[in-house]
Structure 1
């Protein structure tokens, strides 16, 4: 009996992975922040704390849309436009880092915000490490911009680095287990 095994070529598998990421990343972000940010006006939830949190939300949303746009440009073979708009990405990434760190300082250290049962000062490590990981991955992606496989892989990881924050906000488990759920433990 012969098995009918369909094996994707590595190139096709890679293209499918990046397409899935370009669709899945914004979808997870939309679902995760649907109730608490994007459509909070429809729900009885606490309002966004201040203008800094709004700036963070707008900049991070911009990053998600930028990631999708850049992936679409490569997928449609618009490499020249992708490279030209890469300069916008560098500026946007810098804003992601600076405003992300400022938001973490404001939320955890100034306002004492943290998930249920978490010490805000201890929790501060998480968003700071997220920003450090993102900064390192993005810097490496820029360094390897002339090497498409490395560049694409590093940009993929910049998207994955922000997924736990969105997953944490999807209420599929009780709040005390949300951190474990977000990090796939």
Structure 2
């Protein structure tokens, strides 16, 4: 099987899963929370183990505290996935605000270039999305948001892989045609 077909199949699979996730966003949001909980437990455990190997009392204490916090968060997400989903949705909203503010500040440093308006608009849209999430902070939206974002990302990723596969398929033909001309 050629490489472009593998990329095409992977892209189509990502699109199919994206559609599936968008069909059940609450289930996907809870799954994201559960995976986050497992990853926090693993990284927290590794952080605690690593804390015993670092040098310096301050570094050791900081590493052990950080590991304990990650273990606590991981266990909390796994023990209470609905509350964990609400927490992660709040974190996403905060990241939208921080990213929006950062891009707006960056856009003013780009004033007079072709990148000013796209960067400014991108930042404003991030702030608008955060405001929309905050204004509609119902349990339903909060529980669905992570799944919706995951589904959209899977669709974008799938389409990107499909386009890349088609590019790879046509690339050798373009190189051959350029050599013949």
What is the TM-score when the length of structure 1 is the normalising length? 0.35
What is the TM-score when the length of structure 2 is the normalising length? 0.35
Question: Could you say which structure has the greater relative contact order, defined with CA pairs below 8 angstroms and 6 or more residues apart?
Answer: 2
